[in-house]
Structure 1
Amino acid sequence: MGPGPRRGAMLLQRNGIPPRAGLWPGFCLTPRKAVSPRLRSCGGGMAFRQGIEPMVPVTPRARAATAPYSDDPIDFVVTRPMMSHAAGAAVALLSDAERQRASRFLFDRDRDRFIVARACLRQLLAARLGTPPDSVELVYGAHGKPALAPCYADTDLRFNVSHCDDLTLYAFSCGREIGIDVEAVRPIRDADDIAARFFSQREHGAYRALEPSDRPLGFFQCWTRKEAFIKALGDGLSYPLNRFDVSLAPREPAQILRVEDTPGDRCGWRLESWSPAPGFVAAVVIGDRE
């Protein structure tokens, strides 16, 4: 939901698919921890420790997860707040600019989702910064991605956010660029035409090879994986979708297969995909340490 348009939201909206808003990578601070860890495996082999991360009542139903990547954990928080109860309390955490932006939404549902998602982001950043949520200062880059203000320039954590319907995913990483995306798996109008237009040649061939019953999941696995990669890059609209390939078949590992002329296993990025809730698919892309 940044001030600038997301590539994914724009392309989906142009082709009759309701836009699903998200944020872009930026910077945040401090150590990560999982509470009451419970290990499970997910997607392409990344292990998640799930537990509850303390949240104020804005997010009455929240799950936190930490995924180890090399020697650094990756934090994930998944929230499904009860919007009607959360928005009133959440608005107090927003900046004046965020409140003004919230007031421009035409529908209460969209406004409440923005308010709660941004308040949750502030809570999560504040917990890592050791500062009150309403004092967290955010700035925006050329492509609309939020980052912490220059006063936090010595930090090395990155964050990314995506949400779809009432589900919001937050990802935090220390020293690695990160991108995350989530979508509801659903039949969509003209999916085959959209795939032909926006998937790479290799991806389109893999999509066409799927059984019709597998195509909705294959479509959104491809879409979220590509979107997560673009968000990790932080290049917004400037990076062509056909310059990289991702896997998409439902029963195959999540992989970046190619980035320009570099094979995926040497491209410096790692991709994982999983279902954060029934009926949803998500992807996260993590870069090598800088």
Structure 2
Amino acid sequence: MTVENHLWLPASADLTLLQDEVHVWRIDLDRPEGQLQHLAATLSSDEVCRAKRFYKEQHRQRFIAGRGILRTILGRYLGVEAQQLEFCYESSGKPVLADTFADSKLSFNLTHSVGLALCAVTCDRLVGVDLEYIRPISDVLALAKRYFSPAEYAVMCGLTPNKMQEVFFRYWTCKEAYLKATGVGIAQLEQIEVSLTPGQPAKLKTEQKWSLLELVPANNSVAAVAVEGSGLQLRCWQY
């Protein structure tokens, strides 16, 4: 499944998330100073400390925007103010809602590249999302041989140089989305096999109970969402 740019819609005020839905939010991380100040005020003390560690001002501002907007979005689902949210972290570093909000059964995952972020939200099912801008990689086949299965590598070898770059990032985002959902981490990238068949939705060969949803959030970019279950409805929102 591929979602083009024009299908990203503004969310209504009465936002609801059904159990068979996956919501994905597209977020512009480059925000005016006034908005950044407001978003910074919603962050926890540890998030403020993390923001201060960034050497480049642009990276610091994008971190503040990403975490502040994440808090704002999740707050809308939970009916609480952004600054009231509490996170804890899995061993992989993946943020999850603290036990205070366990009854909501809300799961989320955030990814960003350059000035764009995506936030995936589900109810009572694990979810992961990954976003990459397509860029030239000189040793793309060597990387594919290292991190991809023999079948995936064979597909890569049969492509034109331009198509090879795009398909590499499609494989990468699909695998990374699943690993982020499960909290396993990139170390097991080569153990996850993805089927990319022309005209067919991407599939996880190794995990039958999971779905992959591919997106095109911006020009020259690819993204993927991995989510538990099947027959899910994808809804895309613009923050």
TM-score scaled by structure 2? 0.86
1:278 correspondence with 2:215: no
Q: Is the 8 A contact 2:36 2:61 kept in 1?
A: yes
1:214 to 150, 160, 163: 163
Question: Secondary structure of 2:25's match?
Answer: strand
One-letter amino acid of the counterpart of residue 216, structure 2: S
| Correspondence for 1:98 | 47
Question: Secondary structure of 2:143's match?
Answer: helix
| Correspondence for 1:52 | 10
Q: Which has the higher contact order (CA 8 A, sep 6+)?
A: 2
Residue deviations 1:76-126, cap 9 Å, x none?
110114334342332111111000010001111111111100001100111
| Correspondence for 2:56 | 107
Change (3 A) 1:282 1:223: same
| Correspondence for 1:14 | none
| Correspondence for 1:226 | 175
Change (3 A) 1:166 1:209: same
TM-score scaled by structure 1? 0.72
* C-alpha RMSD of matched pairs (Å): 2.6
Counterparts of residues 248-267 of structure 1 (less than 5 Å): 248=196, 251-259=198-206, 267=208
| Correspondence for 1:197 | 146
- CA–CA distance in 2 between the matches of 1:219 and 1:110? 26
1:180 to 129, 152, 155: 129
Residue deviations 1:1-22, cap 9 Å, x none?
xxxxxxxxxxxxxxxxxxxxxx
Give the CA deviation at 1:237.
4.6
1:268 to 209, 219, 226: 209
| Correspondence for 1:83 | 31
- CA–CA distance in 1 between the matches of 2:226 and 2:158? 25
- CA–CA distance in 1 between the matches of 2:165 and 2:196? 11
Runs of 5+ unmatched residues, structure 1: 1-41, 56-64
Q: Is the 8 A contact 2:17 2:122 kept in 1?
A: no
Question: Secondary structure of 1:93's match?
Answer: coil
Q: Percent identity among equivalent residues?
A: 34
Runs of 5+ unmatched residues, structure 2: 231-239
- CA–CA distance in 2 between the matches of 1:67 and 1:151? 19
Give the CA deviation at 1:172.
0.6
